[in-house]
């Protein structure tokens, strides 16, 4: 069977999209440790992400972009960053330095008057060569947990790793070249998975 140029290009695009979808599924790992309570999730706080990249500046960027993507959903009442930093000062904890323990999570949850906390950990972040090219693209490995504030227990956790050239569709089209764009996409993909698990609740009138 002989295919025309348009048909061949269409098959190439379709195959690339299938490959992209497959890569996304493999890179995002979701683990449910316990079920969400029946009550709506309305008020929560995104805690400063701990990081293993030894760059507080980059950690702040990842944290703020994730928080902005969550705010875009317009589904929750989010605690302001200034109030969260004040709560950290009250327990003499440095933001973006380490993971809070269970007791600290309970104290923070009570102080901030929230039902749930979101705690993140930046495992890896930087730039590496694009596959088959001498061009650099960003990469990010992020772990994000949903925590019940009252008990400090983790409800579920998500591990996600992405590299900018994984978004390539045809040739260089679709390649993510900046860290900020990659962080946004990784955050969106995590939140989309959480939404499919029932995390989204319209509580703001």
Please give the full DSSP string across 32-51, using - where no structure is assigned. Answer: ESSPPPSS---EEEEPPPEE
Q: Which of 5-19, 62-76, 104-118 has the lowest mean pLDDT?
A: 5-19
Domain boundaries, given as residue ranges, for the chain: 29-196
What are the CA-CA distances from residue 124 to residues 121, 153, 162, 184 (Å)?
Answer: 9, 25, 10, 16
29-196 CATH fold: Rossmann fold (3.40.50)
168, 174 Cβ separation under 8 angstroms: yes
Query: In 3-state terms, what secondary structure has residue 53?
Result: coil
pLDDT at 2: 40
The pLDDT tens digits for 36-57 are 776 677 889 999 999 888 788 9
Average pLDDT, the chain: 83
Cα separation, 157 vs 197, whole angstroms = 12
Q: Which of 106, 136, 120 is nearest to 60 (CA)?
A: 120
The pLDDT tens digits for 91-121 are 999 999 889 999 999 999 999 999 999 999 9
Work out the pLDDT band at 61, boundaries 50, 70, 90.
very high
């Amino acid at each position: 069977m002989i295919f025309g140029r348009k048909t061949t290009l269409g098959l190439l695009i379709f195959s690339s999209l299938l490959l992209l979808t497959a890569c996304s599924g493999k890179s995002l790992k979701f683990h449910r440790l316990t079920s969400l309570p029946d009550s709506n999730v309305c008020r929560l706080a995104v805690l400063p992400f701990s990081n293993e990249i030894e760059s507080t500046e980059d950690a702040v960027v990842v944290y703020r972009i994730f928080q902005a993507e969550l705010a875009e959903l317009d589904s929750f009442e989010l605690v302001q960053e200034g109030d969260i930093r004040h709560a950290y000062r009250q327990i003499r904890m440095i933001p973006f330095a380490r993971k809070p323990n269970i007791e600290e999570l309970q104290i923070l949850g009570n102080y901030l008057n929230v039902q749930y906390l979101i705690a993140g950990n930046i495992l890896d972040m930087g730039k590496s060569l694009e596959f088959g090219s001498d061009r650099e693209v960003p990469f990010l490995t992020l772990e994000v947990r949903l925590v019940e504030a009252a008990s400090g227990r983790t409800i579920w956790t998500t591990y996600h790793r992405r590299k900018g050239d994984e978004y390539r569709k045809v040739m260089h089209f679709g390649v993510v070249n900046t860290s900020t764009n990659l962080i946004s996409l990784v955050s969106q993909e995590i939140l989309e998975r959480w939404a499919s698990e029932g995390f989204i609740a319209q509580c703001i009138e």
